Amino acid sequence: MDFFIDVSFWQSAWTLNKFKLLKQYGMKAMIIRAGYGTWLDKLAVTLIGYAREMNIPFALYWYLYPGIPFDVQIRAFIAFANNYPDCKSYFIDFEEYRSISGEIYSKAYLEKFYKNSYDYLVKVLPGKKVGIYTGSWCVNAYFPGIVTWMNKNKEWYAFYVKYFTWFQQYIASLGGHWADNSKPISISNLPKILEEVWKHAPQLKLPDGITGWAAWQCFTFVAFTELTYGQRNLDYNIAPPETYREYFGIGEAPIPEPPVVVEPPQPEPNEPPYVPQKYKVTAWALNIRSGAGAYYPSTNKYLVMGNVILSIDEQNGWIKMDKGWVSKLSLREYTFIPGTLYKATTGLNIRSEPDVHSLRLSGIPHNGTVKVDEINNGWAKLTDGGYAFAYYLVEV
């Protein structure tokens, strides 16, 4: 029986050959976590490479945190997804209901947050397939109002069968155990297990008010002999044929290849010079690194939300500024408006020129506010005269 899997950094123990083994037993597609909050999933690029190597379609999803502005998270998702035009569809994960400190948000807040998130993703991806992953356990308890606008027949739901007696007994009949690593069975049983689960599809518990489903995340563990201990936890999903067509384009008529037109070679143009661009920080705290990548060490300095920087180079989604490199996922292009009000994050000197050796005119106290007319080369030109370090100023 056909199935698809959803994968993330938690599948770090998996290899391409083991994914190929799943394809041999019916895996038709992958949904890959691109990131969560404002952070990129560290394994996303590798997993996309595996899908391409296996020549199977893939979709992307993003895990949302209600404590972070929805538009900041969606922009981070799109900034990553834009690098992969062969992505078939885009999903957002509606599960979280607490703040980082453990506070449970109100139902009204969560329902508004998730509605705004979905609407914004649809807006920035016109004509693309946009979907939702969630489960009845969180919808019914924490944000039931979303069912009034969700697609009631075409969403992707989690509901695990491992606690059902029929599933436990069926795995036992094959010589395995529903939760015990010490009783592995051959992965050749996987199609039969999925067929057995499909027979029990009417037992799938949907959120109150939902009448149908498009995809079912049905189990996350079976101890298969051919998989290592670290590879035995994986999300297996089943769906009807129309879902594979809608989510992944499987079953659609192929688009004919355009005729090949051979043109004479053209001389390479000169590489255009890098054009500096101003960006505004959208993360609460953004590490400054010594190179263009998350694997480069931190400089032990960081930017805060609202800081404005001037880029001097860009490489592979990383922006270089005067103090080092920062991830573009946590930045947005910024057009400065003269007279904008800023707050000082520490006590600052106001100097006569944009130079630490110039005359000190006065100062700005911690949390004091000033109006800024211009930001250049790390210095803010103040409306009332003088200059101050822009690094320690955030827009109010």
Higher pLDDT, 384 or 316: 384
pLDDT mean over 31-60: 96
pLDDT mean over 172-196: 94
Q: Kindly state whether residue 255 falls inside one of the protein's structural domains.
A: no
**pLDDT of 107 strictly over 50:** yes
Residue 88 and residue 209 in one domain: yes
Please report which helix (H) or strand (E) contains residue 372, including its range. strand 369-376
pLDDT mean over 49-61: 96
Residue 329 and residue 194 in one domain: no
Helices (H), the chain: 16-24, 44-54, 70-81, 107-124, 136-142, 165-173, 190-199, 241-248
Which pLDDT band holds residue 268 (cuts at 50, 70, 90)? very low
* Residue 314: per-residue pLDDT: 87
**pLDDT of 36 strictly over 70:** yes
C-alpha dihedral, 370 to 376 to 378 to 382, nearest 10°: -20
Which pLDDT band holds residue 13 (cuts at 50, 70, 90)? very high
**pLDDT of 269 strictly over 50:** no
How many alpha carbons fall within 13 Å on the CB side of residue 164? 16
Q: Kindly state whether residue 230 falls inside one of the protein's structural domains.
A: yes
Residue 242 and residue 290 in one domain: no
CA distance 159 to 146: 18
**pLDDT of 93 strictly over 90:** yes
Mean pLDDT of the chain: 90
Q: At a CB cut-off of 8 Å and minimum separation 6, what does 180 contact?
A: 223
pLDDT digits 0-9 by tens, 127-177: 999 999 999 999 999 999 999 999 887 899 999 999 899 999 999 999 999
Q: Kindly state whether residue 218 falls inside one of the protein's structural domains.
A: yes
Q: Kindly state whether residue 132 falls inside one of the protein's structural domains.
A: yes
Residue 196 and residue 282 in one domain: no
* Residue 60: per-residue pLDDT: 98
Residue 158 and residue 290 in one domain: no
Overall domain count for the chain? 2
**pLDDT of 265 strictly over 70:** no
Residue 241 and residue 306 in one domain: no
Q: With beta carbons less than 8 A apart as the criterion, state whether 379 and 388 touch.
A: yes
Q: Kindly state whether residue 91 falls inside one of the protein's structural domains.
A: yes
**pLDDT of 255 strictly over 90:** no
Residue 41: CB atoms within 10 A of its CB come to 22
Choose from 232-246, 338-352, 376-390 the range with maximum mean pLDDT.
Answer: 232-246
Q: Kindly state whether residue 272 falls inside one of the protein's structural domains.
A: no
Residue 98 and residue 235 in one domain: yes
Domain around 58:
3-248
**pLDDT of 361 strictly over 80:** yes
Letter for the amino acid at 1? M
* Residue 20: per-residue pLDDT: 96
Residue 192 and residue 307 in one domain: no
% of the chain exceeding 90 in pLDDT: 66
Which pLDDT band holds residue 310 (cuts at 50, 70, 90)? confident
* Residue 166: per-residue pLDDT: 94
Residue 134: burial class (beta carbons within 10 Å; 0-12, 13-18, 19+): buried
Which pLDDT band holds residue 309 (cuts at 50, 70, 90)? confident
Tokens of 362: 């006065």
**pLDDT of 257 strictly over 70:** no
